[in-house]
Amino acid sequence: MPSAEEVTAEETRTRLLQTMTHLMWTGSYAAASVGRVCKAAGANKGSFYHYFRSKEELALEALDKVWEMAKQDIFERAFHESIPPLDRFRRLEDLNYEFHRAQHGKAWDVEQGCIFENIGTEGGPENARLHAKSKEVFGYQREYMKTAVLEAIVAGSIPDQDADAATRRIIAFQGGLNIKAKIFNDVEWLRELFPGIRGILGAAAARTT
């Protein structure tokens, strides 16, 4: 059984990660200074540097935690092999929408979009590793989607087409919806995902015939 000191230490580390996630998602990485993170987390800078060598290290681990959550709670559930391939995108829409709805009034005052898009579009060479992390996560998401597209083609649910190109369009479309939801502070934009994906797959096929 861990000691009280070990429990307290782990709680402090968890608070720092949760605080960094919240500040990056609802604001920006640039604005999430070490001092601001420590104040919001109720920790001192000595504790911060005991657990993390830098703000960037904390941010990267926080992003890993977000992807771990999204992978387990959204992507693994949406893209399970037992679900017909095209229906996996409908499930993705449902789970993503439910997650964003749940954040309102709990973690967010307004719609905040996708943390990986938010961080990935922050400028500056000092953010290179964060940009790379965002690209890495979108690569993981793309593999889930590409597999579903390929299986949908084999199942005859959609016409034959370039799965890589179709998946790129889906990723781009989803990103646009996330941005619109954030700009208009309206989570209902996320309900356009599955209808749009159906259209993208059909339109991509039509242009090749």
Q: What integer pLDDT is reported at residue 20 of this predicted model?
A: 97
Q: Are residues 194 and 124 in contact, defined by beta-carbon separation less than 8 angstroms?
A: no
Backbone angles phi, psi at 122, to 5 degrees: -70, 130
Q: What integer pLDDT is reported at residue 71 of this predicted model?
A: 98
Residue with tokens 């996560």: 137
Q: What integer pLDDT is reported at residue 81 of this predicted model?
A: 96
Q: What integer pLDDT is reported at residue 8 of this predicted model?
A: 81
Stretches where the chain sits below pLDDT 50 are 1-7, 203-209
Q: What integer pLDDT is reported at residue 204 of this predicted model?
A: 44
pTM for the model: 0.90
| SS3 assignment for 145-209 | HHHHHHHHHHHCCCCCCCHHHHHHHHHHHHHHHHHHHHHHCCHHHHHHHHHHHHHHHHHHHHCCC
What are the sequence ranges of the domains in the chain? 56-206
Q: What integer pLDDT is reported at residue 123 of this predicted model?
A: 67
CATH superfamily of 56-206: Tetracycline Repressor, domain 2 (1.10.357.10)
Q: Are residues 10 and 41 in contact, defined by beta-carbon separation less than 8 angstroms?
A: no
User: Tell me: the pLDDT tens digits for 94-114?
Assistant: 999 999 999 998 899 999 999
The three-state secondary structure class of 2 is: coil
Q: Are residues 206 and 173 in contact, defined by beta-carbon separation less than 8 angstroms?
A: no
